[in-house]
């Protein structure tokens, strides 16, 4: 088993600034943007320079560290800047729970600091954000190794959206399972839903798997059910933006349809998500707020109109899949198989079932 | 009840030529192309200037008439030209059974003609093609009136692809049901799947319903399951490219996923198709050939690449939905409710159940 380093950097700290791979330009252009303040980071999250629940959490934490390190003055000024950055960043995307989890950690670090030393406080906040980033990669690797055990050699794996290295600080959640299976020497191929409206499957999943030499084929979202019905798919694995206490989960719009089609054809359906995505305060899927994004994501593709002028659209960014359609929830703490209040409760207590 | 005339012409005969609305340019541009020979018509069908099983059948019949009327010489020369046109047009699209049905009718008309009079033969073939066109509109109206009875007042109706006036000579199959319900004074609104890869829902269904003043909202294909799960949809109605003897049917890729999601949430799912779409020689869905179209329909949108260079795609144009997911098959002969060998057999005998 060999751990392959990631061949790209999704979000990192470099020369006192936050650097992100601009995912809106992939696969055509690989451009890294540098952000010098928290407003820039918030705008990048809102406009989806970076996306994916874990990556958003890491970016937000680094955004808070950025606000702190760029603030001169005393510890109170640094704390105020960091707090303001938390408020600003919390308002970027409503569905991904990792965002709030990461910001809570930054706030806790902030309030636990009793030092009046501005330098020490800046360092502590940067260290916390960098720790969140490192832990994210480590979590993906643990999740990957738990999930890889579920992947048969020779499997064709369907995935939706991008729950990959690009959606995390590295390795990926759903694609982390794929990468870990490959590292174990298993031969796999991936079928990637293109994932309208923003085409994260066609653009991002295809790009990062091809880059790592893992065979990937793209299909339109509507084709998934047909490939499942034809027996061409051995398992489905997707990420999650929020997992409720009962195992219901929110993920990119289109996930529910894939889950229903997988269940109808007896194909195992897995959700790979770091424990930070599990929100025990959310009892079930009905309680998850669903972000409705701008109409032009649907009405225009590459700046050109595809719907008639004046015709309205609906654009929910996520849907909710009930736990009963999920074979297992794969987390860095282990599996909840099947996911329900009891199996998730056991993971919450730290035990690996 | 008032019969509203169609506000556009999908395919018609004008000044001795075949005229088609170029559906590739909608909704931005409403351009009518004139075809002077059968090769032009075949190319138009293959490149999807016109699409939709009934419209393809009408266009092909008119293409044969065009070949006949443009051939000088004796009746034998006219017959040869018409036969060659049938062969040429039969090779354009493999899944739509109406194409073969329409060409068979043209061939039968040809072989039943004992006249050595070239003028009479040309006239007979043109009359047959025009009859197919008129009958198509009449069939859609009968289908619409059978189907409209199933539409509750105030219904929100989900549809996939375009089974509208643009997919027929006029009125439409699935959208014919909607139009007939509106003509009966029912208030309905339509939710249209955009229908990747060619976006017939976003471009065509939205265009023709908006043009007729029927409220329509566009969603991405992946959103259909979520709207069904939220109880926002009262019924689904789609068209079909071929219905097998047991009620299984082929339709635009993505239909199966919608049918599975509708069944999972207890929402009635209807298929509206003229009797000419029912192929009693095809025992079940597994026997329906599925056209795989060019990769660039998936890899490029508006000429711009959306998948990474070198990454393969799959592009089946249709999928097969099993009869068990269909609440009723709506035909111009009446309903097969639920569709199965027995109910379809009764329609085949001409009885209206």
Separation of alpha carbons B129 and B132, rounded Å: 5
Contact between A221 and B220 (Cβ < 8 Å): yes
pLDDT-based confidence at residue B209 (cuts at 50, 70, 90): very high
Report the length, in residues, of chain A: 353
pLDDT given at position B80: 96
- Is B226 in contact with A256 (Cβ distance < 8 A)? yes
Q: Is B201 on the interface with A (CB under 8 A)?
A: no
Q: Is A156 helix (H, G, I), strand (E, B) or coil?
A: strand
Separation of alpha carbons B83 and A341, rounded Å: 68
pLDDT given at position B149: 97
- Could you report the per-residue pLDDT of B181-190, keeping only the tens digit for each? 999 999 999 9
Residue B7 has pLDDT above 80, yes or no: no
pLDDT-based confidence at residue A60 (cuts at 50, 70, 90): very high
- Is A307 in contact with B206 (Cβ distance < 8 A)? yes
pLDDT given at position A295: 97
- Could you report the per-residue pLDDT of B18-52, keeping only the tens digit for each? 999 999 999 999 999 999 999 999 999 999 999 99
Average pLDDT, rounded, for chain B: 95
Taking CB atoms and an 8 Å cutoff, what residues of chain A touch B222? 160, 193, 195-196, 221, 252-255, 257, 319
pLDDT given at position A6: 58
Q: Is B286 on the interface with A (CB under 8 A)?
A: no
Q: Is B210 on the interface with A (CB under 8 A)?
A: yes
Sheet holding A278-279, edge to edge: A278-279, A242-244, A249-252, A318-321
Residue of A nearest to B250 (CA): A226
pLDDT-based confidence at residue B132 (cuts at 50, 70, 90): very high
pLDDT-based confidence at residue A353 (cuts at 50, 70, 90): very low
Of the residues B164, B195, B226, the best mutation for testing chain A's interface (the one with the most A CB atoms within 10 Å of its CB) is: B226
- Could you report the per-residue pLDDT of A111-150, keeping only the tens digit for each? 998 778 999 999 999 999 999 999 999 999 999 999 999 9
pLDDT given at position B350: 77
Residue B306 has pLDDT above 50, yes or no: yes
| Span A29-54, average pLDDT | 96
Contact between B39 and B48 (Cβ < 8 Å): no
Residue A1 has pLDDT above 50, yes or no: no
pLDDT given at position A276: 86
Separation of alpha carbons A37 and B336, rounded Å: 64
Taking CB atoms and an 8 Å cutoff, what residues of chain B touch A200? none
Taking CB atoms and an 8 Å cutoff, what residues of chain A touch B254? 220-223, 225
pLDDT-based confidence at residue B4 (cuts at 50, 70, 90): low
- Is B311 in contact with A264 (Cβ distance < 8 A)? no
Catalytic: which of A241, A248, A279, A332? Answer: A241
pLDDT given at position B276: 87
- Could you report the per-residue pLDDT of A207-246, keeping only the tens digit for each? 999 999 999 999 999 999 999 999 999 999 999 999 999 9
Residue B55 has pLDDT above 70, yes or no: yes
pLDDT given at position B116: 86
Residue B17 has pLDDT above 50, yes or no: yes
- Is B207 in contact with A308 (Cβ distance < 8 A)? yes
Shortest Cα distance, chain A CAs vs residue B22, angstroms = 15
Of B203, B198, B188, the residue nearest B237 (C-alpha): B188
Residue A351 has pLDDT above 80, yes or no: no
pLDDT-based confidence at residue A3 (cuts at 50, 70, 90): low
pLDDT given at position B353: 40
Residue of A nearest to B221 (CA): A222
Contact between B326 and B137 (Cβ < 8 Å): no
Residue B95 has pLDDT above 90, yes or no: no
Separation of alpha carbons A295 and A316, rounded Å: 10
Taking CB atoms and an 8 Å cutoff, what residues of chain A touch B257? 222, 224-226, 257, 260-261
Shortest Cα distance, chain B CAs vs residue A225, angstroms = 5
Q: Is A305 on the interface with B (CB under 8 A)?
A: yes
Residue A257 has pLDDT above 80, yes or no: yes
Shortest Cα distance, chain B CAs vs residue A242, angstroms = 16
Of the residues A159, A210, A226, A255, the best mutation for testing chain B's interface (the one with the most B CB atoms within 10 Å of its CB) is: A226
- Is B218 in contact with A298 (Cβ distance < 8 A)? yes
Rounded to a whole number of angstroms, the distance between the first and last alpha carbons of chain A is 24
Taking CB atoms and an 8 Å cutoff, what residues of chain B touch A7? none
Residue/partner pairs of B43-50 with CB below 8 Å, 24 or more apart: B44/B20, B45/B89, B45/B92, B45/B93, B45/B99, B46/B92, B46/B93, B48/B23, B48/B24, B48/B198, B49/B20, B49/B22, B49/B23, B49/B24, B50/B10, B50/B11, B50/B20, B50/B21, B50/B23
pLDDT given at position A113: 83
Taking CB atoms and an 8 Å cutoff, what residues of chain A touch B255? 222
pLDDT given at position B352: 46
Q: Which of residues 110-169 of A touch B (CB under 8 A)?
A: 160
Q: Is B196 on the interface with A (CB under 8 A)?
A: yes
Taking CB atoms and an 8 Å cutoff, what residues of chain A touch B325? none
- Is A202 in contact with B27 (Cβ distance < 8 A)? no
- Is A319 in contact with B206 (Cβ distance < 8 A)? no
Tokens of B162: 């375009």
Q: Is A275 helix (H, G, I), strand (E, B) or coil?
A: helix
The H or E element spanning position B247 is none
Shortest Cα distance, chain A CAs vs residue B325, angstroms = 11
Percent of chain A with pLDDT over 70: 97
Residue of A nearest to B210 (CA): A311
Phi/psi of residue A236, each to 5°?
Answer: -115, 140
Residues 6+ apart with CB under 8 A from A183: A1, A2, A3, A4, A144, A148
Of B137, B180, B141, B181, the residue nearest B11 (C-alpha): B137
pLDDT given at position B113: 83
Residue B351 has pLDDT above 80, yes or no: no
- Give the one of B191, B203, B225 whose C-beta lies nearest to A319's C-beta: B225
Residues 6+ apart with CB under 8 A from A149: none
How much is the pTM?
0.92
Taking CB atoms and an 8 Å cutoff, what residues of chain A touch B307? 27, 194, 202-203, 206, 218
pLDDT given at position B1: 40
Name beta bridge partners: B103. Answer: none
């Amino acid at each position: 088993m060999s751990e392959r380093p990631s061949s790209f950097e999704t979000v990192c700290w470099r020369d006192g600034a936050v650097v992100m791979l601009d995912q809106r330009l992939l696969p055509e252009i690989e451009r890294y943007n540098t952000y010098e303040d928290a407003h820039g980071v918030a705008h990048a999250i809102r406009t989806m320079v970076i996306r994916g629940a874990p990556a958003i959490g890491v970016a937000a934490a680094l955004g808070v560290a950025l606000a702190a390190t760029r603030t001169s003055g005393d510890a109170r000024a640094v704390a105020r800047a960091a707090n303001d950055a938390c408020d600003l960043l919390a308002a970027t995307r409503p569905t991904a729970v990792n965002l709030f989890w990461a910001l809570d950690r930054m706030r806790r670090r902030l309030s636990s600091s009793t030092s009046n030393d501005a330098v020490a406080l800046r360092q502590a906040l940067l260290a916390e954000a960098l720790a969140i980033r490192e832990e994210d990669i480590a979590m993906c690797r643990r999740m990957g190794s738990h999930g890889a055990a579920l992947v048969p050699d020779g499997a064709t794996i369907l995935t939706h959206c991008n729950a990959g290295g690009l959606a995390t600080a590295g390795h990926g959640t759903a694609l982390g399972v794929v990468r870990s299976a490959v590292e174990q020497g298993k031969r796999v191929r991936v079928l990637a839903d293109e994932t309208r409206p923003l085409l994260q499957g066609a653009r991002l999943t295809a790009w990062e798997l091809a880059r790592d030499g893992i065979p990937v084929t793209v299909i339109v979202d509507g084709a998934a059910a047909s490939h499942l019905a034809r027996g061409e798919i051995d398992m489905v694995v997707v990420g999650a933006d929020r997992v409720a206490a009962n195992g219901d989960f929110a993920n990119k719009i289109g996930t529910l349809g894939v889950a229903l089609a997988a269940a109808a054809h007896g194909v195992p359906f897995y959700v790979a998500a770091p424990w930070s995505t599990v929100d025990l305060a959310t009892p079930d899927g009905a309680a998850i707020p669903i972000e409705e994004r701008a109409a032009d994501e649907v009405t225009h593709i590459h700046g050109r109109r595809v719907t008639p002028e004046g015709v309205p659209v609906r654009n929910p960014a996520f849907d909710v899949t009930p736990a009963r359609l999920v074979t297992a929830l794969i987390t860095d703490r282990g599996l909840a198989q099947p996911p329900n209040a009891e199996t998730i409760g056991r993971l919450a207590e730290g035990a690996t079932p």
